[in-house]
Structure 1
Amino acid sequence: MRKFFKPLMAVILLAALSACGGVPTATRSAMPDDTMLGAALPPDVRIESFTVNVPRSLKVNDRNLYYPIGDIVWRGEPRGDRYAQVQAMFESGLRDAAQRVDGPRPVRLDIQVTRFHSLSEKARYTVGGVHDIDFRYRLVDAETGIALGPSKLVNADLNGLGGQAALEAEGRGETQKVRIIAHLSRVIVEELTIPEGHVTAKLGLLQAINDL
């Protein structure tokens, strides 16, 4: 019964809302799933290289429901290899972030995506929602190959525009892909430059449902 609770709650909430109207190198051989440990942040680092792993064990859902159940839900690009598309967005965000993280200690940044649940077409063009993005990262000294502490799990949720707001954003060139890449870049910069790291935005009931 529990597995039906989240989509049921999301559909009920979406229906209610609707009624209201409303430059480093990317290393392709990313770390295996079981090497992520679990986070102290060494100060003054520089991203010399990175890896991004989107495990094939994550479940993709391309059904056009208000709240498709799955680990990867992505509709900002034509149908294709969703794992590769998510990986490419993270890599773009990392390349941008690397230009703003310029400490003296060179590191490799390893990222493993654990969830990338964006908006379906139905949600995108009605009430919007939340881009629910989670990943784990670790830093490795580029010279010694030694991990600098354990890995850290980051929640990088972003508000997902819907309806007229989504259409207006598209008209300005602010597609879902553009917004998410820029957001990922900000999150990574905050993680590596601010003592407390990235602080997840409070995005209301839909975010709470995602976290159940």
Structure 2
Amino acid sequence: MHRRTFLVSFPLLGLMGCGAAAGLQSDARPQMERSYALQGFNFNVLEGLTVSEDETFYPTADVVWRGDPLGPRIPQIAAMFEEAAARNRLTVDGTLPVTVDVTLVRFHGVTNRTRYTVGGVYNVVFDMTVRNANTGDVIEPARRVVGNLDAPGGTRATELESEGQTQKVRVTDFLTSLLRAQLV
């Protein structure tokens, strides 16, 4: 009986652990008319973030990413944010030119061990400021944005990969829609 309980509970712990970071939640989005034209984008990282390459179910770190080959994770994440911003330059095309400043607070993906078994959640947390691109004046002061994307596990993860829906594709698409939702 105890062994069965443990086997059922263990995957559930993995799923719960990959959820939102404790104590981190989105700030309320200011209620205002927006007609932004995204002109500029700046990516920064909160000082002191820890990066993990551990293949445990839930590494204790601020940055966990396995969607690119082993290498410097922060630049890999920055590239996805830059791509998301570039895509939004085409669709966020209102009348007021803006620059968006993003400071990464947390980017916790799933390890290969988690991905190929129970799955989890990509948890992305950043602070975002919107400034007038012409004057530099702050239009929307820094606020916390938290986004969670389901990370299917096991067979479903393998199927998505074979369909071209790699971790990098899915997360970049997610960041694109998350940024867009904050600007329109």
TM-score by length of 1: 0.72
- Indicate conservation of the 8 Å contact 1:14/1:66, yes or no: no
- Indicate conservation of the 8 Å contact 1:124/1:162, yes or no: yes
1:123 aligned partner: 114
Work out which structure has the larger RCO, using CA pairs closer than 8 Å and 6 or more positions apart in sequence: 2
2:131 aligned partner: 140
Identity over aligned pairs, percent: 34
Alignment partner of 1:80 is 2:71: yes
Letter in 2 for 1:83: I
- The structure 2 residue matched to 1:64, chosen from 38, 55, 71, is 55
Aligned residues: 163
Deviation at 1:13, TM superposition (A): 4.0
- Indicate conservation of the 8 Å contact 2:29/2:182, yes or no: no
- In 2 relative to 1, CA 172–150 (structure 1 residues): closer, same or farther, beyond 3 Å? same
- In 2 relative to 1, CA 73–57 (structure 1 residues): closer, same or farther, beyond 3 Å? same
Deviation at 1:17, TM superposition (A): 7.6
- 1:160 & 1:115 partners in 2: Cα distance? 16
1:173 aligned partner: 164
- Indicate conservation of the 8 Å contact 1:54/1:87, yes or no: no
Task: Identify, as 1 or 2, the structure richer in strand.
Answer: 2
Deviation at 1:116, TM superposition (A): 0.2
**1:149 counterpart SS class:** strand
- In 2 relative to 1, CA 42–149 (structure 1 residues): closer, same or farther, beyond 3 Å? farther
- Indicate conservation of the 8 Å contact 1:39/1:149, yes or no: no
Greater than 4 Å deviation, 4+ residue runs: 15-18
Uncovered stretches (5+) of structure 1, i.e. residues with no partner = 1-11, 19-37, 194-212
Deviation at 1:149, TM superposition (A): 3.0
- The structure 1 residue matched to 2:38, chosen from 47, 56, 59, is 47
- Indicate conservation of the 8 Å contact 2:43/2:101, yes or no: yes
Aligned CA-pair RMSD: 1.9
